[in-house]
Amino acid sequence: MSAVRLHPHAVVSKKAQLGVGVEIGAYSTIGDNVTIGDGTAIMDHVIIDCNTEIGKNCKLFPFSSVGTDPQDITFQGEETFAHIGDHNIIREFTTINRGTQKGGGHTRIGDHNYFMAYVHIGHDCQIGSHTIFTNGATLAGHVEIGDNVVLSAFCAVHQFARIGRNAYIGGYTLILQDVLPYAKISQRRNAYSFYGPNSIGMMRNGFNRKFIDNVSDIFKIIFRSDLNTTQAIRKIEELYLNQEEARTIIDFINGSRRGILKNFQFDE
């Protein structure tokens, strides 16, 4: 792999560390204490602010802004960080903020994620791997996103909300509470629609039909029975003892701070 290639109009801090084969385009700015992994391409007009780590073989498109100060009125310049893994694509005008001390100080993003144009990742967000954020999807601070989640265009997620692994969120949906792993939902005006498991996405990610059918039955216990959440968990534990799909969903519910989203119309 070739050495670092810097455009003569790029501005790179002497405190930055650039891996082998890194490319920095014209008018891009790389701040203090930035680390960029091997093979990552920074195109023209990109800003990577201080205390930011970007992994290997990522590609950042023009006018994206990564590792800038958190948009939090209590932030007073404390030392905080942003961490971005390997093989991520960050398209035009995407913004990713560093963490805040009160939120743990770290915004973290895993590997193989695709952030389309105008995506915003707020401070202290924790994002898994293999996610897709379509144009204009927006996360407030402290949001958690599991692996293989798809956020469609112009979704917005409330601070401290969580979206479980392999969930699919339809376009223009406002997420105010936690969305269970494997769920497929959307919002129509003021009503949420529920479509059962994200079957197509799950099959693409290697889940077999029995697993998906079990998730569908678990969802019926949670959302369509007369049981409250505690009673539903007990029934799921009885029927699906030690099975991965049940354990994943139950652990997610038990970890909820905002409560799980349940106010659905059913459109399976």
pTM of the model: 0.96
Q: What stretch(es) of the chain map to CATH 2.160.10.10?
A: 5-142
Q: For residues 27-51, give the mean pLDDT.
A: 98
First to last CA, the chain: 50
Residue 192 pLDDT: 94
CB 111 within 8 A of CB 125: no
Q: Taking 90 as the threshold, does the pLDDT of residue 44 lie above it?
A: yes
% of the chain beyond a pLDDT of 70:
99
Residue 189 pLDDT: 80
176 residue type, one letter = L
Q: What stretch(es) of the chain map to CATH 1.20.1180.10?
A: 201-266
Which residue from 148, 91, 156 is spatially nearest to 122, judged by alpha carbons? 156
For residues 19 and 75, what is the distance between their CA atoms, to the nearest angstrom? 31
Residue 14 pLDDT: 97
Residue 93 pLDDT: 98
Architecture of domain 201-266: Up-down Bundle (1.20)
Q: Taking 90 as the threshold, does the pLDDT of residue 91 lie above it?
A: yes
Exposure class string for 142-151: b at 16+ Cβ within 10 A, else e:
bbbbbbbbbb
How do beta strands 183-188 and 191-197 pair?
antiparallel
For residues 91 and 224, what is the distance between their CA atoms, to the nearest angstrom? 40
Question: Of all helices (H) and strands (E), which one includes residue 166?
Answer: none
Q: Given this structure, which CATH class describes domain 5-142?
A: mainly beta
Catalytic site positions: 123-124, 141
Residue 267 pLDDT: 62
Handedness of CA 40, 92, 139, 52 (dihedral sign): positive
Query: Helix 209-223 to helix 229-239 angle, to the nearest 10 degrees?
Result: 150
